Chain A
Amino acid sequence: MRALTWHGKHDVRVDTVPDPQLLNPRDAIIEITATAICGSDLHLYDHYIPTLKSGDVLGHEFMGKVVEVGSGNHKLKVGDRVVVPFVIACGRCFFCERQQYAACDNSNPIETAPMSETLYGYPMTGAFGYSHLTGGYAGGQAEYARVPYADVGPIVVPDGVEDEKVLFLSDILPTGWMAAENCEIEPEDSVAVWGCGPVGLLAIQSALVLGARQVIAVDHHPHRLELAQALGATVLNFEKVRVHDALMELTGGIGPDACIDAVGMESHGYTLDNAYDHAKAAVGLVTERIHALRQIIVACRKGGRVSIPGVYGGFTDKFPLGALMEKGLSVKSGQTHVQRYMPKLLDMILEGALDTTFLISHRLSLEEAPRGYKIFKEQQNEVTKVVLNPSNATRH
């Protein structure tokens, strides 16, 4: 089959690789009908996430048709249309029983679990196409994918609903939703969102659905700010205004009740602290550039809530711990417990309460995926979401 494979920094290619096979009883094989490039895939493209290997198949946002089902999988049947969550979860461990699917104790294989255990104290869950820290599972920017624990993760979608309407259930919609939910929004709240990429935009949409009185969006790409504005956000271009002062003005001097970091480890901004992060990252002293998160912790109101869906992988420096403690901020973060949110969000899509298709700016074939990565990286204003279509699948 054809698949998008990683070969080094800014070097991804579409190669012919072996077809996936059923390896365990609860597996399923999916013929992929739609898949997307995620903003967090750019962290792989930029080689900010360690433990990638040349030839790894990337992609963790995908959906398709079930073509093969393992003997122990009693949920799916051949022909089902499913959206696959990026988190691989067994559904039966201590964490999965508490719906903390992104903390699954079993899905990261024995051989790879010690890597994240060394970094984070405990082994991370498994995930598709996202380095060997999360298991080294082949991803879904391909014609086919093997889905482990497929009786827990994939959600069956009804016929007649277009792929693009439900594809983002795989990651960014639940991620935006959980980011907003982690803000514990009350009706009078102002919520500020840093980063108007796909997750930030869906967090804005979710915060409004969850009842925030005011949502303020911070970015510097005019088109992305337009999309945020169209959703109902008040927008701030950080290249044109002093963000902290503007937030004070917009919130009567109190500050935002909750702040969302939808930026992650590769923060932009021509500021002294960002230059410092760049310099230290260049020589390997830090792995994260956290300018946005610093600004968030300082800008959030006293006693406020900070939600971090943005991806971080390692270590940072000059973290404003004093502001965090002295102001009594609460912080919630984490990879998304996708399986927890999928059924409810699917219902909301089917009822018309949520529509995420406005994000899609580019539709490419799988063969064009390397170009998709390049334009998503280099033209962030215009390119908001790239959806790939691996049609004409040929399985050998």
Chain B
Amino acid sequence: VSEAINKPTVDEAPFTLRHPGDTASAPTAVPITRCTVTINRPRAEVYRFWSDGDQLRRFVHDMCHLENLGRGEGDRNTAVDDADPTSLITKAVPNELIAWRSHAGSDVTHEGHIEFRDSPAGRGTEVTATVPGERSVGAVGEWMAKLRHRDPFMQTRQNLRRFKQLLETGEVSVAHSPPNPFRTPD
């Protein structure tokens, strides 16, 4: 995955944003989803937060089932979900990148990496997550993906937004008080 995204593309936009069906310009046969957020905190703090297993649990709900990331390259990570034994840090460059993939014995195959770089003009840190999978297309596709909780882009973006909220505000925004008996069920 890491090598694939460094291949030149036909324009300057990330190739993951190509139109569906534009397989000619895809540098890899494996569909890849990327998602970027800017977090208004210094890069070292952002990297440290992602590397902290206790914190990771608070914002990564379904992206990779990892905890204890960031111990160092080659470390195995205890899975949050018992059905998902272990995963492996394949690369860790402090303040720049963490890559992982599932251990050979894992029930769930997953891999990905997250990059950290300074945002231009002092806007904090740009964080880009890259995971396998293709973004759902169109309203119907997104709706189906939402029902199945399978859209890698939506899942990744939600995780990154929680990450951003925690770093910037110290909490995850929630609206719901106890259930309102007068509310019609969804």
A92, closest chain B residue (CB): B168
Residues of A within 8 A of B171 (CB): 24-26, 72
- The residues of A that contact B169 with a CB separation of less than 8 Å are 26, 90-93, 106, 149
Q: In the complex, what distance in Å separates the CA atom of A14 from the CA atom of B175?
A: 21
Neighbour of A17 across the interface among B123, B154, B181, CB < 8 A? B181
Of A51-59, A236-244, A382-390, the one contacting chain B is: A51-59
Taking chain A's interface residues, is the majority helix, strand, or loop, or is none over half, making it mixed?
loop
Whether B172 and A110, one on each chain, are in contact in the complex, defined by CB atoms closer than 8 angstroms, is: yes
Given contacts A54-B184, A94-B38, A106-B164, are A20 and B177 in contact (CB under 8 A)? yes
On whether A54 and B183 interact (CB within 8 A), knowing A21-B178, A106-B164, A113-B161, the answer reads yes
Judge whether A206 is part of the interface by a CB distance below 8 angstroms. Answer: no
A334 within 8 A of partner (CB): no
Docked complex: A342-385 residues within 8 A CB-CB of B: none
Residue in contact with A112 in the complex, picked from B168, B175, B183, B184, CB distance below 8 Å: B175
Considering only residues 170-186 of chain B, those with a C-beta below 8 Å from chain A are 170-184, 186
Q: Which residues of B contact A91 (CB under 8 A)?
A: 169
Q: Which of A132-151 contact B (CB under 8 A)?
A: 135-138, 146, 148-149
Q: Which residues of B contact A137 (CB under 8 A)?
A: 175
Is B40 a contact of A55 with CB atoms below 8 Å? Answer: no
A5 vs B186: C-alpha distance when bound (angstroms): 17
| Interface assignment of B136: CB less than 8 Å from any CB of chain A | no
Question: How many positions in chain B have a CB within 8 Å of any CB in the partner chain?
Answer: 30
Cα distance, A26 to B173, chains bound together (Å)? 10
Taking CB atoms, residues of chain A closer than 8 Å to B176 are: 23, 136
A319 to B23, CA, bound (A): 39
Q: Which of A100-117 contact B (CB under 8 A)?
A: 105-110, 112-114
A-B contact count (CB 8 A): 95
The residue among A106, A114, A135, A137 with the most chain B CB atoms within 10 A of its own CB is A106
Complex contacts, B173 vs chain A, CB 8 Å: 24, 90, 106-110, 126, 135, 148
Measured CB to CB, the residues of A under 8 A from B are: 5, 7, 15, 17-18, 20-21, 23-26, 53-57, 72, 90-94, 97, 105-110, 112-114, 118, 126, 135-138, 146, 148-149
Q: A72-B171, A148-B174 are in contact. List 18 more A-B contacts (CB 8 A).
A: A7-B182, A18-B181, A21-B178, A25-B170, A54-B183, A55-B180, A56-B183, A92-B40, A93-B40, A93-B169, A94-B38, A106-B169, A109-B172, A109-B175, A110-B158, A110-B173, A112-B175, A135-B175
Contact check, B170 vs A72: say whether CB atoms are below 8 A apart.
Answer: yes
Give Cα A146 to B162, complex, Å: 21
Interface of B is mostly: loop
Q: Which residues of A contact B154 (CB under 8 A)?
A: 114
Residues in B neighbouring A114, C-beta threshold 8 A: 154
Q: Are A94 and B124 in contact (CB under 8 A)?
A: yes
Max chain B CB contacts within 10 Å: which of A57, A94, A108, A110? A110
Point out which of B142, B162, B173, B182 has the most chain A C-beta atoms below 10 A from its C-beta. B173
Give the contacting residue for B183; candidates A55, A90, A94; CB below 8 A.
A55
A393 to B106, CA, bound (A): 56
| Distance of B158 from chain A, by nearest CB (Å) | 5
A-side contacts of B182, CB under 8 Å:
5, 7, 15, 17, 54-55
Task: Name the B residues within 8 Å of A149 (CB-CB).
Answer: 169
Q: How far, in Å, is A143 (CB) from chain B's closest CB?
A: 13
Q: Kindly list chain A residues whose C-beta atoms are within 8 Å of the C-beta of B38.
A: 94
Q: B residues within 8 A CB of A107? A: 173
Closest Cβ of chain A: how far from B108's Cβ, in Å? 22
Give me 24 A-to-B residue pairs in the complex whose CB atoms sit less than 8 angstroms apart, sorted by A's number.
A17-B181, A18-B178, A18-B180, A20-B177, A23-B174, A23-B176, A23-B177, A53-B184, A54-B184, A55-B180, A55-B181, A55-B183, A56-B183, A72-B170, A94-B123, A110-B158, A110-B162, A110-B165, A110-B172, A112-B175, A113-B161, A126-B173, A126-B175, A138-B175
